[in-house]
Amino acid sequence: MKKILLVACIAAFAAISCKKDNTTTSSNAICTTAQVHYGGDPAADGLGWVLVTDTTSGKFEAPDNLDASFKTEGLVVDICYVVTDVDFICFCTPSSRKQIHLTSIKVH
């Protein structure tokens, strides 16, 4: 009986002490790995801070809520995001881009 009680206490302690991942993702969120890149000052026709999702093709996303703690050139991050209805104004191809809203981000 004491062994069963001991095992139950250990199991309860393990369940309580496990850290939960508090990442909230929308059901239509897109999740991928990306590299943070500063594309120049937007006031001088630069891109600002973007997330390069495909380094081969140069595909990037423009987040509307990238936290300052992640604004490090070359930082590799895991992201989940939703595409917004807000146009991302840039002098790039394709010119009809939409900004993204990050639902989660963490260092890879």
For domain 27-107, the CATH superfamily is: NigD-like N-terminal OB domain (2.40.50.500)
Question: What is the C-alpha separation between 37 and 102, in angstroms, rounded?
Answer: 16
Question: Does residue 102 have a pLDDT over 80?
Answer: yes
Per residue in 55-74, pLDDT (tens digit) is: 888 899 999 999 999 999 99
Rg of the chain over Cα atoms, rounded to whole angstroms, equals 20
pTM equals 0.72
Handedness of CA 38, 76, 56, 98 (dihedral sign): negative
Domain-wise residue ranges, the chain: 27-107
Residue 74, SS3? coil
In the three-class reduction of DSSP (H, G, I as helix; E, B as strand; rest coil), residue 6 is classed as: helix
List pLDDT tens digits, range 69-93: 999 999 999 999 999 999 988 877 6
pLDDT of residue 1: 52
